[in-house]
A = this chain, B = another copy of it.
Amino acid sequence: MEPSANQDVYAVILAGGSGTRFWPLSREASPKQMLRIAGEDTLLRQTITRIHGFVPSENIWIVTTEDQAQELGFHIESLGPFTKKMRFINEPVGRNTAPAIGLTAIYLNHLSPESVMVVMPSDHAIPDREKFLDNLAPAVQGAKENYLITFGIRPSRPETGYGYIKADPSLEARFSGLHKVEGFFEKPNLETARRYLSEGNYFWNSGIFVWKVSTILSEIRTHLPSLYSTLKGIESLLFAPHKKDNLDQPSISQTAIPPPPWSTLYASLESVSIDYGVMERSQNTLMVPATFQWSDLGSWNALDDIVERDDRGNILKGNTIDIGSRDSIIFSGERLVATIGLKDMVVVDTPDATLVTAKEKVQEVRKIVEALKKNQREEHLFHKTVERPWGSYTVLERGIGYKIKRVVLKPRERLSLQLHRKRSEHWVVVAGTAKVTKGDETYTVHTNESTYIPMNAMHRLENPGEEPLQVIEVQNGDYLEEDDIERFQDDYGRKDHRGTP
C-alpha cells in the first residue's frame, strides 16, 4: 500500500495545545490546531497530510490529553480511512513537551527502540510539503547516527518572539545537509536580534525534532534524570506482562490508556519543555538549515509571515468590504465586516463575538479570554456551530424557556438513542428526509414536515438518505443545557454528556 514509506520512522504530532491567542476563532472546544487560519485545511490536518506517505499511516501518532482525544479523533476522520490506523497517545494531564515526548518514547521503546521519531507541533504552518520532506531526509540520516536533530529557520527579520539556534556550517562536509549546533538562545531583545540577523549563523528554533527513540531516552536519562526515573516506573506499569495486549491494538480509541496508578505518576511530573530540558543541555545536537517557509503562528500577527498579503499589505478573508486599509488582518465568516482606513489592525469576526485590536496589542487577547472566564461567559468555550461526528449543530438563538438549533446530519449517519428529562423538542425538516424513532414507533418525516418529541421520550434522529439532512429544532423547557441527555446507544462510542447530542 505505501511501499516507499519509512517503516522505521514514526511521526509524533504534539496536539495537546488549547491556545487562546486566536480567540475568537479559537475556543476551548476549538483549539488552534483545529483552525483553518493558514491554508485551506486545519493546522492539525495539514500536519498529518504533510507527513503521511513519508511514514506509514500506523506510524503517525498523535499525542494529546485525554480530554481532547475524542474530539481530535472526530476532527481528523475526514482525511480518510487511513486515520483509523493512526494511534493516539493520551496524556492524563498536560505536562509540557519533555514528559509528552518521554511518554511516547516509552511506548516506542517497547515497539521498536531503534526507530526514528519525527516530533512535530500540530499547530505550526509549513505551506510547502515537498520542501519539508526534502529537509527531513538528512535529518533522519543524522538521527540514525545518534544525533538530536533540530530544524533552524533562516530569519527574515530581527524577530524578538522566537528562540534562536547558533549554528556552525563549517562542519557541513562531515554532516551532509546539517550544521553543528553551537548553542540555543532565548528570545532576544531587539538589539541582539539585529546582531543575530546580521551575523548570519543564527536561526529561529522551529520546535521540530528528529532522533532515535534510544537516543532521546538516553539524553533524558542524562539531562532530566528525575523524569527518566518516573518514565521507567510508568513503563513497568504499562508493559507488565498482563498488560502487553494494550500495544497490539493501535487505534484512536482511548482503550490503550490503562487506569491509574500510571496516570498518577504522570501527573506528578514537573512541566518542562524538551528545548529547555534536553536540547539546550545536550552536546549532541545538529541542525537542518530549513529551506521551507515556516511560522509557529504565535498570534494573529504571524499570519503576515505565512499568508499572502494583497498589494496594500492586508489579509482579507470571508465577507468583507474594505476601503483604504493597510497592513491589517481582517477575518470574517458569513457576517459582513466593513472596514475603513485601518492601519496595523486585526479584526476577527465570528457569529457570536468580534475582536478588534491594534496589531501591537494582539498578545492581550489572552486578557479578554481571562475576563470571559471570570465572568462565566461562554464566548471562550464553544462556537455557535459545533462539529460532531455525525455532522454539526448551530445554536441559532437562546431565549427564556427555548433554544433553537439547526442540526445538519451527514448522509447515513444518526444521533444516539437518547432522551431528555427537562425539555421537549419540535423538529421541522427543512432539507432531506428524516427517519425518526420515538418510543416504540419509527416513522419518516419529509422536508416541510414536523414532529414533536415530548420530555422523557426515548428518541433518535437518523438520515437514511444520500444528501445532508437539515432539521430546525426548537427546544422548550426550563433547563436547556447540553448535559440533559441520557444516551442508550451511540454509533460513535460516546458515553460522556458534555456538549454532545
A355 to chain B, nearest CB (A): 5
A354 in contact with B337 given A364-B324, A431-B401, A476-B430 (CB within 8 Å) = yes
Check A340–B357 contact: CB distance below 8 A: yes
Neighbour of A367 across the interface among B323, B401, B472, CB < 8 A: B323
Q: Mark A211-245, 1 if CB is under 8 A from B, else 0.
A: 00000000000000000000000000000000000
A340 to chain B, nearest CB (A): 4
Residues from chain B with Cβ under 8 Å of A337 in the complex: 353-354, 356
Check B368–A338 contact: CB distance below 8 A: yes
A348 to chain B, nearest CB (A): 9
Residues from chain B with Cβ under 8 Å of A428 in the complex: 426, 428, 474, 476
Closest Cβ neighbor of A24 among chain B residues: B338
Check A340–B365 contact: CB distance below 8 A: yes
Residues from chain B with Cβ under 8 Å of A356 in the complex: 337-340, 342, 345, 347, 356
Check A371–B321 contact: CB distance below 8 A: yes
Check A352–B379 contact: CB distance below 8 A: no
A163 to chain B, nearest CB (A): 26
Neighbour of A404 across the interface among B336, B353, B377, B472, CB < 8 A: B472
Q: Is A133 an interface residue (CB 8 A)?
A: no
CB neighbors of B among A360-375 (8 A): 360-362, 364-365, 367-368, 371-372
Q: Is A406 an interface residue (CB 8 A)?
A: yes
A110 to chain B, nearest CB (A): 47
A445 to chain B, nearest CB (A): 12
Residues from chain B with Cβ under 8 Å of A349 in the complex: 354
Grouping DSSP codes into helix (H, G, I), strand (E, B) and loop, the A interface class, with mixed when no group exceeds half, is strand
Stretch of A34-42, A166-174, A392-400, A413-421 on the interface side? A392-400
Residues from chain B with Cβ under 8 Å of A426 in the complex: 426, 428, 450
Q: Is A456 an interface residue (CB 8 A)?
A: no
Residues from chain B with Cβ under 8 Å of A358 in the complex: 340-343
Residues from chain B with Cβ under 8 Å of A488 in the complex: none
Check A354–B336 contact: CB distance below 8 A: yes
Check B424–A402 contact: CB distance below 8 A: no
Q: Is A47 an interface residue (CB 8 A)?
A: no
Check A448–B431 contact: CB distance below 8 A: no
CB neighbors of B among A156-210 (8 A): none
Copies in the complex: 2
**Docked CA distance A362–B323 (Å):** 11
CB neighbors of B among A400-457 (8 A): 400-402, 404, 406, 424, 426, 428, 430-431, 447-448, 450, 452
A424 in contact with B448 given A356-B339, A356-B342 (CB within 8 Å) = yes
Q: Is A335 an interface residue (CB 8 A)?
A: yes
Between A342, A365, A472, the greatest number of chain B beta carbons within 10 A of the residue's beta carbon is seen for: A472
Q: Mark A303-322, 1 if CB is under 8 A from B, else 0.
A: 00000000000000000010
Closest Cβ neighbor of A334 among chain B residues: B352
Q: Is A285 an interface residue (CB 8 A)?
A: no
A419 to chain B, nearest CB (A): 17
**Docked CA distance A379–B319 (Å):** 12
Q: Is A90 an interface residue (CB 8 A)?
A: no
Residues from chain B with Cβ under 8 Å of A340 in the complex: 355-358, 361-362, 364-365, 367-368
Q: Is A470 an interface residue (CB 8 A)?
A: yes
Closest Cβ neighbor of A340 among chain B residues: B357
Check A321–B368 contact: CB distance below 8 A: yes
**Docked CA distance A383–B357 (Å):** 26
A41 to chain B, nearest CB (A): 25
A452 to chain B, nearest CB (A): 7
A396 to chain B, nearest CB (A): 5
A265 to chain B, nearest CB (A): 41
Check B341–A470 contact: CB distance below 8 A: no
Closest Cβ neighbor of A367 among chain B residues: B323
Check B399–A430 contact: CB distance below 8 A: yes
Residues from chain B with Cβ under 8 Å of A347 in the complex: 354, 356
A327 to chain B, nearest CB (A): 13
**Docked CA distance A401–B347 (Å):** 32
Closest Cβ neighbor of A470 among chain B residues: B399
Task: Report 28 cross-chain contacts, Cβ distance below 8 Å, ordered by A residue.
Answer: A321-B371, A321-B372, A323-B361, A323-B367, A324-B361, A336-B352, A337-B356, A338-B356, A338-B357, A338-B368, A340-B355, A340-B362, A341-B360, A341-B361, A342-B357, A343-B358, A347-B356, A396-B396, A396-B404, A399-B406, A401-B430, A401-B431, A402-B431, A402-B470, A424-B448, A428-B428, A428-B474, A450-B474
- Which 4 A/B pairs are nearest by Cβ-Cβ distance? A341-B361, A340-B357, A402-B430, A341-B358
**Inter-chain pairs besides A399-B470, A400-B431, A450-B452, 6 sampled, C-beta below 8 Å:** A323-B361, A337-B353, A338-B357, A341-B360, A396-B404, A428-B474
